[in-house]
Each structure stands twice: as structure tokens, then as C-alpha cells.
Amino acid sequence: MTFKEYYRYYLTLHTNKWCRRLHFLGQLITLLFITVVIYQKLLPLLILAPFVVYPFAWSGHYFFEKNKPAAFSNPLWAKICDLIMCKDMLIGRIKF
């Protein structure tokens, strides 16, 4: 499967607007976390940054989508797809 095909599959797991909104919120909080960690010079905590989004994203899958998060099968591609989906939401390709 190519990355483009995977992204299309990833979007099928995120059809519910509340799930997408929770992913977006999680990404914003992740960016805030990274900013604070760098500003406070707590650099070893940066290793936790990829995991900040998961409580938001996984609750979206559990409560709204009723499916298994893509991160369970391919965490790296799922993280990249999450960022792309959030970008697509910001530019209007995907509805909030």
C-alpha cells in the first residue's frame, strides 16, 4: 500500500466530525506542549510529544467512530496522516 492509499484509508476511519475535531484539538495541545517544553528548557520531555494527541484521538474513535485507531496498526504513518488531515481541515478540504 502506498502512502497516498493509506491516507485515503485513514480518512475512512475519520468520517465523524467530532472525531476529527478531537484529533485537531489534540494536535493543537501537542503543539502547545512542545512550545512549553522548549520554552521551559525541559527538552527530555519532548519524547512524550507524539503521545499527547492520543487521549483525544482515541476517545474520538471510541465514542464517535466506534472503530480502531489507525495508530494501532501503523503508528508512524497514522501520525503523519493526522497532521495532513488537520492541515486539510485548516485549508477547508475537510469539514471541521
Render pLDDT for 29-70 as a digit per residue (tens, 0 to 9): 999 999 999 999 999 999 999 899 999 999 999 999 999 999
**What is the pLDDT at residue 50?**
87
**What is the pLDDT at residue 34?**
97
Q: CA 38 to CA 42: how far, in whole Å?
A: 6
- Name the residue among 63, 13, 54 with its Cα closest to residue 30: 54
Q: What is the mean pLDDT of residues 4-18?
A: 97
For the chain, give the mean pLDDT: 96
Q: What is the mean pLDDT of residues 80-87?
A: 96
- Exposed, middle or buried by CB within 10 Å (0-12, 13-18, 19+), for 57? buried
Would you say the pTM of this structure is higher than 0.95? no
